[in-house]
Amino acid sequence: MVNFRQISKLLFDKSKFDKTLGKNIPDLLRKRVSECPENVLQAVKNEVGKFDLYTYERVYRRALDLACQLKKLGIKKGDKVGLISDNRREWMITDYALLSLGAIDVPRGCDSMGTEIRFILEFTKCRFAFFENGRQLEKVLEKSEEVPSLKHAILFDSADSDLVTKAAACGITIHNYVNLEEIARRSTSAGDREEINAIIDTIEADDLATIIFTSGTTGVPKGVMLTHDNFMAQCEVVKSVLPDSKNGDLWLTVLPVWHVFERAFQYFLPVLKSGCIYSKPVASRILEDMNAMHPNWMCAVPRLWDAIAQRFFSEMRKKGGLHFAFFNVAISVGKTYWWAKDRVFGLICRYKKTIRIFDTMIAFVPYILMFIPNAICDFLLFRKIRGYLGGKFTAAISGGGSLQPETDAFYHAIGFKLLEGYGLTETAPVLSLRNSKKPRSGCVGEVMPCAEIKVVAEKDGKIAGTEPLPPGKRGLILARGRQVMKGYYLRPDLTEQVIDSDGWFNTGDLGMLTQDYEIKITGRAKDTIVLLGGENVEPQVIENAICGSPFIRTAVAIGQDQKYIAALIVPIEDAVIAYATENNVVYENYEALLHTNEIKNLIKSEIDSRVNAENGFRTCERVFNFVLLEKDFTVGVEINSKMEKMRHKIVKIYAKQIKKLYE
């Protein structure tokens, strides 16, 4: 079995593990400061729109000094400390300061509701909490009686006098982060720093680093307890799966750092002796910062990669005529070229034992024929697109959701290396990642050397056997290894439901392994739709296919306990309007346009051309009805911060539209 072959390989392939990094997260940074003190760790945009650079030595000194000041305030080893903020320079410094004290941070983003923040802070009994600004603290003060444990609030941005007074009335003292930094800078002695270094030496691998609460897509948030070793296990092997990374590389950071995906990669920075550039998850801002700082790497969710790709299509569509025609032809040429090249060089997923030479023979002639046309397209178009993306990318990473095949193919066509990864909060999070030297499309990459994966039989989303299935057989994905969480905070009952006595964690994801020990995700067990006829349908597969259309931005397949599958569709407004103009469709406004027969027929043909028998879909998986929505989904309403669809909320919000689909 592939699983046991890989386990054997892990036991003997010591070269993939770097055991010189230290035993905990602050120790890792401390060691790197001594090796590359002048490397850039943070690039932060200032008030005039220029980037200020912070070296390893400068960031570490600030974190150490802040730790000294927090120690004087009363934060000690084992304390839980709230960290309610989005990604910014102060977040990293605060995180390292808290971890250096042996404290456990409890993070959450600014898009969180007051009820969530209050629940999390009180459930973990936080006496101290950091807040990005006054608005985040206001969410607590709205019902401060629900958070009696909180006594100190530290604000990254200044608080006005009214807020200070209001907080004091609730028994909460407000501290200004900037003031704490300044006091720490002026008053911290060498002896104070030595005390913090001594504390770092006492932090064990199994000590908790953070408690990250799930986004609440499935009900009450669960606190995932992650240890220093959960992260260090991945740090030890990240260089082996990103062999193209170089000393001094810069990563563009746009994701919410309280999510474990972005956070883990921020811990990878010291391992790779790299730095990060702070940006925002908006396509226009990302492109602007790419051109200003020319990053080498970037992590983002599929929705952002799709938005950037659609921006290029939209710009070319506006130019129209020969420009748009050439753009489409060039992308087709690029797709064909890379399809052939991947087969010639063996970069395709194998689900059965095959002889690679046959793939090479089939693709060799197309590869040769498309070589020059692709080179011309690269010279005239692709390199310009890569230039808009900063021009110096080694590769970028997509995670936190399923990457649309069409989006993946677009970046592949233009010669932009986009690596898809896979993981969960409970696995801290990376379980697999496409190797930057030999990336294969169609999967979420090779299993990390620090992890064990097996696929087992399932029935109705539950484990139906413990024996690992062979490559190509679909089932439930189970994971085991040092990176698997310690458990759910104060919920041993929930922990027992997902981690068995042998340490196997049930990811809840459906998929299969390849012959090369890569993972392919096929769906989510808990998202499975069961139709009235008893057929099990994976909505993600249908949605991914539909979103391959150049006219469709978002799709949600529905049909639980119904006769057939239907869908909520969010069209791409620019593309639909352009189509209407080109085809002389008469309409008053965009809302009216979506109700015209021409647009309904367009979307129907787009769906039917992708979800059909020829593409491997069963009759029960066909979309028999749909409704077009004017506005895209919003973070905090229909999707969470990781850009995942909150299906239970979507069903409630669009209950009337869904009801009409089945009348």
What is the C-alpha separation between 248 and 267, in angstroms, rounded?
15
Does the pLDDT at position 217 exceed 50?
A: no
Q: Are 516 and 443 in contact (CB under 8 A)?
A: no
pLDDT at 530: 75
Q: What is the pLDDT averaged over residues 464-486? A: 96
CB neighbour list of residue 470: distance below 8 Å, 6 or more residues apart: 1, 2
pLDDT digits (tens, 9 = 90+) for 286-320: 999 999 999 999 999 887 898 899 899 999 999 98
Q: Are 110 and 259 in contact (CB under 8 A)?
A: no
pLDDT at 534: 67
CB neighbour list of residue 90: distance below 8 Å, 6 or more residues apart: 156, 177
Q: Give the C-alpha distances (Å, rounded to integers) separating 631 from 283, 572, 590.
A: 18, 10, 10
Q: Tokens 């057929």, residue?
A: 535
pLDDT at 175: 97
What is the C-alpha separation between 78 and 338, in angstroms, rounded?
52
Tokens of residue 382, six digits: 């692709």
What is the C-alpha separation between 312 and 331, in angstroms, rounded?
12
Tokens of residue 646, six digits: 């909150």
Does the pLDDT at position 12 exceed 50?
A: no
- Tell me the pTM: 0.86
pLDDT digits (tens, 9 = 90+) for 519-550: 999 887 778 787 876 677 889 889 999 999 99
- Percentage of the chain with pLDDT > 70? 97
Q: Are 234 and 26 in contact (CB under 8 A)?
A: no
- 102 exposed, middle or buried (CB, 10 Å; 0-12, 13-18, 19+)? buried
pLDDT digits (tens, 9 = 90+) for 382-427: 999 999 999 999 999 998 877 888 899 999 999 999 999 999 999 9
pLDDT digits (tens, 9 = 90+) for 23-59: 999 999 999 999 999 999 999 999 999 999 999 999 9
Q: What is the bridge-based pairing of β-strands 80-84 and 104-108?
A: parallel
Question: In terms of C-beta distances under 8 Å and separation of at least 24 residues, what long-range contacts does 189-196 make, across chains too?
Answer: 192/68, 193/64, 193/65, 193/68, 195/68, 195/71, 196/64, 196/67, 196/68, 196/71, 196/100, 196/101
Does the pLDDT at position 142 exceed 80?
A: yes
Please give the helix or strand (H or E) that residue 430 lies within, else none. Answer: strand 430-433
Among 270-279, 334-343, 525-534, whose mean pLDDT is lowest?
525-534
Which residues in 237-263 are b (16+ Cβ under 10 Å) and which e? bbbbbbeebeeebbbbbbbbbbbbbbb
Average pLDDT value for the chain = 92
Q: Tokens 């049930």, residue?
A: 506
pLDDT at 216: 44
Does the pLDDT at position 129 exceed 90?
A: yes
Per DSSP, which regions of 265-404 are E strands? 275-278, 297-300, 396-398
Q: What is the pLDDT averaged over residues 490-515? A: 95
Which of 442 and 640 is assigned the larger pLDDT? 442
Does the pLDDT at position 641 exceed 80?
A: no
- The three-state (H, E, C) secondary structure of 350-382, written as one string: CCCCCCHHHHHHHHHHHHHHHHHHHHHHHHHHH
Residue 323: strand, helix, or coil:
helix
3-state DSSP helix/strand/coil % of the chain, to nearest 5 = 45, 20, 35
Q: Measure CA 235 to chain center.
A: 17
Does the pLDDT at position 146 exceed 90?
A: yes
Q: Tokens 């059965």, residue?
A: 352
- Residue 492 preceded by cis peptide, ω within 30: no
What is the C-alpha separation between 179 and 174, in angstroms, rounded?
11
- For the chain, helix (H) and strand (E) counts, in that order, are 25, 28
Does the pLDDT at position 219 exceed 70?
A: no
- The three-state (H, E, C) secondary structure of 465-518, written as one string: CCCCCCCCCCEEEEEEECCCCCEECCCHHHHHHHECCCCCEEEEEEEEECCCCE
What is the C-alpha separation between 601 and 570, in angstroms, rounded?
15
Q: How many CA atoms lie within 13 A of 236 on its CB side?
A: 23
Q: What is the pLDDT averaged over residues 202-218? A: 84
Q: What is the pLDDT averaged over residues 323-346? A: 96
pLDDT digits (tens, 9 = 90+) for 68-79: 999 999 999 999
What is the C-alpha separation between 123 and 621, in angstroms, rounded?
42
Q: What is the pLDDT averaged over residues 158-166? A: 95
Q: What is the pLDDT averaged over residues 152-180? A: 97
Which 8-state DSSP code applies to residue 395? Answer: -
Residue 643: strand, helix, or coil:
coil
Q: What is the pLDDT averaged over residues 237-266? A: 94
Tokens of residue 24, six digits: 């905990």
Of the candidates 280, 214, 271, the one whose C-alpha atom is nearest the C-alpha of residue 253 is: 280
pLDDT at 220: 67
Q: Tokens 């230290």, residue?
A: 22
pLDDT digits (tens, 9 = 90+) for 551-587: 999 999 999 878 899 999 999 999 999 999 999 999 9
pLDDT at 378: 98
What is the C-alpha separation between 469 and 478, in angstroms, rounded?
11
Residue 604: strand, helix, or coil:
helix
- 228 exposed, middle or buried (CB, 10 Å; 0-12, 13-18, 19+)? buried
CA 31, 34, 37, 41: dihedral to nearest 10 degrees?
A: 0
Among 131-145, 215-229, 253-267, 480-494, whose mean pLDDT is lowest?
215-229
Tokens of residue 177, six digits: 């982060």
